[in-house]
Structure 1
Amino acid sequence: MIHVVRMTVWQWGIRVPARQGEEMRQALIREGALDASLRVLRDGDTLILPLTGPRDGAGQFGFEAHPGREPLPRHELVGGIAIMQDDDPDGAQKILISRPSLHTVVFAEGEVSGEYRTRQFRVLAGDLTTRTTVTEHGHKFVVDLAGAYFSARLSTERQCLLAQVQEGENVLDMFAGVGPFAITLAARASLVVASDLNPRAIELMLENILQNRIKNVLPMLADARRLVDLLPWKFDRIVMNLPLAGTEFLPEAFCLCRPGGIIHFYSLVSAKGEHTARIRELGGTVIAEREVRSYSPGQWHAVYDIVAD
């Protein structure tokens, strides 16, 4: 008797209704995000599709490997660049040849740091570049991973905010990066002011505004601490995506938000309600607090939806 040993591989996966499985599978293939070395799981009326890296709504699942297909090293896809979790040149070559959409595989040397929110990368395979284009819900964003902060994992979050924006709102994005939140919300807002301290981020934002033919986003190269003095408006909605240090800018956000306006404050937290007391001190009411994604053991990326009193 021949015994077949099935290898279980723990990898990121996303759960979808079975009736939408093929549509989602094809979309992930086009994006380069489906891990074709692993079998799709079925769980009742849902399918769990294996991913090449983390994304909004994903979790860890035990998949069976396809016979004869070696699982790829863990990595995250951002446009045509794969970001590896380990310094593994051989694994980088395997990832590069696994899908035609990739042009570069990099290893992240350290975390996001500094006032410009940048990160160091070393190219392990492919083209010597950290620049790529990300397609997201009908928009194209030019990004430079080493030059300006960008998170592909917040794609669903941007759509969540867009659903909350009312037609004609004036919106402020205090830490806009290359403009993904600002350009997404411009579909409903009357005006989006998109500020960032990083000159490289503003350069890329200008490219993205032109590329997406957006006419109601105003880029600003400015320190968020000075926006109160620079801007003549009060805003209906403010986005604060600076998870590591956003708390220190909350007073400026409240000064810039009209009474009854909404502030979306993102932060890395270790406990629910971690910033609630400070928000109350500043004159705000938390109407929702939710986890956006897991960040590390015991810490997660949360967003507080706040009404300014």
Structure 2
Amino acid sequence: MGKQQWCLRVNRQGAETVRRALLEEGTLDKSLKIRPDGDELLFPVISEREGSMMAEFEELYQRAPLPRHELVGGIAILAEDDPAGAAAILGDRPSVHTVLFAESAVEGEFRTKRFRVLAGDETTATIHTEYGRTFRIDLEKAYFSARLASERQRITAIMHDGEEVLDMFAGVGPFAVMLAEKAGMVWACDLNPDAVSLLIGNISRNRVSNVIPTLADAADLPEVFGRRFDRVIMNLPLMAERFLPAASRLCRPGGTIHFYALVGDEDEDTPLLRRIPSRSMEKRFVRSYAPGRSHVVYDIVVD
């Protein structure tokens, strides 16, 4: 059953001009659906006015705001411990099978978080799709950020065909698999055995033949490889700084290091950056991380 409300009868020919004027005035009743009536339209207004009349209108569905969350494949990660909000997300988003709340920050040498299931399936694993590639992810076993998708595309775009790339902290392989499109070869390394296991599966899942998974400590990589690369990815924002000397030894002159870090608005650049012989160094904003804190990347061309 509809709702009776004041309205204005307007010819269709000038209807858009009237609609915009009512919106600017704040008098259009946006909770009701504009109603066609022959060659005219009936615009619901919030109160009686000159030329208005009463008519019946269909109420528009008012979607309740969902709590703040991040989507990773079929998993929604809530910013707050909110079971009711989790249930609302599960009911509103058919693609979501699980809603999680992070009970810890990134911790330990494997960069993992502890999660609690608030709604849906009892799992922390999902399939995530990014620019046509698919990744099996287990958020409790290996670190993953969907928010770096555009950054992965940026680096792919600036690469030259045939480059040899080293991903020092590969995780489940999003950088390695994406960059493989243009690289000659990608060496994808991680210290976390679960991450490397997922990485191997994702290499196979995406039918990529030029990514070599490696279980190793990033600090040991200069000795492991004994060679240099055209491009080095350092996506370990909380602790990558201590691996900068190793990265410098692993990148050839003229090659590029992409060093990711979390910095405060007033923070100065880490002194270790100044110790890397470089031809150029560009600091780029990636995304907001927290109030007064940003995720940035330093693109360093090694001398």
- Report the CA distance between 1:113 and its aligned residue: 1.2
- Report the CA distance between 1:247 and its aligned residue: 0.7
The answer as to 2:298 corresponding to 1:304 is: yes
Q: Find the partner of 1:230 among 221, 224, 227.
A: 224
Asked whether the 8 Å contact 1:286–1:304 carries over to 2, the reply is no
The answer as to 2:133 corresponding to 1:139 is: yes
Q: Find the partner of 1:161 among 143, 155, 158.
A: 155
The amino acid of 1:119's aligned partner reads K
The amino acid of 2:228's aligned partner reads K
- Report the CA distance between 1:299 and its aligned residue: 1.0
Asked whether the 8 Å contact 2:280–2:302 carries over to 1, the reply is no
Normalising by the residue count of structure 2, what TM-score does the alignment of the two structures yield?
Answer: 0.78
CA distance in 2, matches of 1:286, 1:129: 45
Root mean square deviation of aligned Cα = 1.7
Q: Which residue number corresponds to residue 75 of structure 1?
A: 69
CA distance in 2, matches of 1:246, 1:272: 20
CA distance in 2, matches of 1:171, 1:150: 20
| Overall identity of the aligned pairs, in % | 57
CA deviation string 1:141-195 (max 9, x = no partner)? 1100111000000000000000011001100000000000000000000010000
After superposition, residues 173-252 of structure 1 pair within 5 angstroms as 173-252=167-246
Asked whether the 8 Å contact 1:276–1:286 carries over to 2, the reply is no
The answer as to 2:86 corresponding to 1:92 is: yes
Normalising by the residue count of structure 1, what TM-score does the alignment of the two structures yield?
Answer: 0.77
The amino acid of 1:237's aligned partner reads R
The 10-residue stretch of structure 1 (228-237 or 283-292) with the greater mean CA deviation from structure 2: 283-292
SS in 2 for 1:219: strand
The answer as to 2:89 corresponding to 1:112 is: no
State the structure with more CA Rg.
2
Provide closer, same or farther for how the CA distance between residues 87 and 191 of structure 1 changes in structure 2, counting only shifts above 3 A: same
- Structure 2 unmatched ranges of 5 or more: 7-59
SS in 1 for 2:114: strand
SS in 2 for 1:266: strand
Provide closer, same or farther for how the CA distance between residues 73 and 271 of structure 1 changes in structure 2, counting only shifts above 3 A: closer
- Structure 1 unmatched ranges of 5 or more: 4-65
- Report the CA distance between 1:277 and its aligned residue: 4.3
CA distance in 1, matches of 2:257, 2:63: 47
CA distance in 2, matches of 1:150, 1:162: 19
SS in 2 for 1:292: strand
CA deviation string 1:221-278 (max 9, x = no partner)? 0000100110032100000001001110000000011111100000001247833643
- Report the CA distance between 1:70 and its aligned residue: 1.2
